[in-house]
Chains A and B, each alone.
Chain A
Amino acid sequence: MINYILSILLIFLISPFLTGLIKSFKMYMLFKKPLSPFQPYIDFMKLIKKEVIYSKEASIISRISPFLILAPIIVVVFLLPPIYKGSYYISFMDAFTITGLLSLSTFFLMLLGLDSASSFGGIGSSREAFISALVEPAMILTIFAVSLMAKSIGLGSAAINLATHFPTHHAASFILAGIAFFILLIAENGRIPVDNPETHLELTMVHEAMILDTTGANLALIETAGALKFGVFATLFATLFLPFGANLCWCLAVTVFILKLILISLVVGWIEINTAKLRLFKVPNLLGIAMIFGFLSLVTFYIVGV
């Protein structure tokens, strides 16, 4: 039980570091003077002290939605697969629950964007709805393929099955599912080919447009939710698609896990500096590719045989 609490605390604490790391890695690669990777913590401490201002048109939604954006993601963190063997985990939750909880968080984010009655918020909400509607089918296909390979629909037991006896004859199918999930990781977290998290340019912003009117402590909560969401996806990728190192003793296993998270962040940062942002109406193509890879993974699974 104490292991479980500690691993959850680890994910909570490391998530802002990962987003900060992506940013400083990008700045380093573009020959700028890099920010400290711990900048998100400093921003959080600064924002949490500031006064909260609501716009005149704002209703009760603006007051409650920062908490409702953060809460489902916190619940998801408690349902993640164990990061080392022997740790306690919640076995009765499957991946569809996690998808649903993340959608709930996105739903309140969209409501927040609409509630401030500025035109940017509306634009941002409609774009977010467009993208997250396309993410769902690919996500379900991918997760279904992984569950088939791991012979368990529950997320925790799937990760343990993959770590203990990896299905080597399904490796092709596994790789394809991994690629699909990585595209989804980028799309869901609003990283560069889909959305640029750093600009405030009206044509391109999706996530920033919705939170343009939030201030102070609310903004701190929403930024934390974004960082945690990246942490959740990175943990899922590290435990399901890089299933090694979990059988070592706990100190080594945690080190390997943190290294895997850092590796994922660096890969995401490396993709960001090498690609241009897609036009909004080309985003379905990218997610279509994810869908094909998910489908292909299923087909290959059935061809190779159970």
Chain B
Amino acid sequence: MIDVLIGFFLATLITQAFTTRLFRLILWYALNSLFLGLIAFYEGININDDEMKIMGIVTIAVKFFAIPYILKYFFAKFNIPRSIKPITSIQYLVIIIPIILVFTFYLITPLLNNFAHHSNYIAIAISSLMLSLLLMIEHKNIAAKIIGFLDIENSLFLLGISATDGMPMLIEIGIFVDLLMLIVIINILFKHQGEAQ
């Protein structure tokens, strides 16, 4: 089951790199977070860890419902342009994304022996980290950069689930509150971009 969810996680992340519309980007981000939350929930059931189940539910509540809603509100409020053209054209992305994936998997191979189980999850988590970085690099628009940052957070959470058996719950909750604060603070940046146009 987790294999299926992790496939969808990677698929939504790659689709984000090709998206040229802002609200569609938020939708893909929300779906990405939904799959992340489900992964955490199932992993919690598998290793019988109540904290991780709660983390999964909180992830879905915060990242699938709250953050996309707040972002959409701010985007509408500050008239952020809806069309987000990547600087890199899609023809090059077709070449760049497989190169990134192959390179990451190649890079991670020596490390994989250290982890008894879930070695492929770690490879996928690190490659999704790289893909989120690509998402930040390829856009000029501040809104897309922020989504890229949130994606990096998602990949780190996936890495945290798969590499360790879950971080302490206090830290995770702290990160969520951090993220919510960050989203609120970010609207100062939006304000500047809104004025520039």
Contact = CB atoms under 8 A, between A and B. Distances in A.
Interface residues of A, number: 23
Contacts of A295: 98
B180 interface: no
Interface stretch (B8-16, B75-83, B147-155, B162-170): B8-16
B179 interface: no
A27 B7 CA distance: 34
Contacts of A296: 10, 14, 97-98, 101
A293 interface: yes
B129 interface: no
B91 interface: yes
Interface string B1-45: 101101110110011001000000000000000000000000000
B177 interface: no
A285 B18 contact: yes
B3 A169 contact: yes
Interface residues of B, number: 23
Contact of A285 (B14, B90, B97, B120): B90
B11 A292 contact: no
B123 A289 contact: no
Interface string A42-75: 0000000000000000000000000000000000
A284 interface: yes
A157 B93 CA distance: 36
A133 to B, nearest CB: 15
B94 A175 contact: no
B90 A288 contact: yes
A291 B94 contact: yes
6 closest Cβ contacts across the A-B interface? Answer: A175-B7, A171-B3, A172-B7, A288-B94, A285-B90, A171-B4
